Amino acid sequence: MESQFQRAKGTCAQELDEAYAKVIKDTKGFLSVACPCCKQESLRAYWRQFGFARLPVENGYHEFRRGTGYLWCHACKTYGTWDGLLPFWWPKEDPLAALREQGAVNDVDDYDAHWDVIAKAIPWRE
């Protein structure tokens, strides 16, 4: 099936980058911001972990989770992806693990379709 979603372009892409930086920086939970492209709905998010990054910290090293982050808007079907570290607050177990095993989640269309599952599994910020 063809994707309903389109990658953000131009100013919209830049603003989505800024939104991602804000979301990833928060240490307590998901701070959803309004979609910068259509301003109609709050952005949705999902991270897929691919491995670990062993990085130096104050007292040695720490294994950070590494993967790909997705931000998208359900209203205008715009999305962006970023490779890097997962936010601290992202659940240890992938909220979509069971669905993924069934082969039911592969792209942002699927993440959006299962947003209710993701939203229940993540901690939220006001």
Q: Which residues are near Zn ion by CB under 5 A?
A: 35, 37-38, 73, 75-76
Q: Shortest Cβ distance from residue 105 to Zn ion (Å)? A: 21
Q: Shortest Cβ distance from residue 76 to Zn ion (Å)? A: 3
| Nearer of residues 72 and 94 to Zn ion, judged by Cβ | 72
Q: Shortest Cβ distance from residue 77 to Zn ion (Å)? A: 8
CA distance 36 to 30: 17
| Nearer of residues 35 and 71 to Zn ion, judged by Cβ | 35
For 108: left if phi > 0, alpha if psi spans -120 to 50, otherwise beta; the answer is alpha
Q: How far apart are the first and last CA of the chain?
A: 36
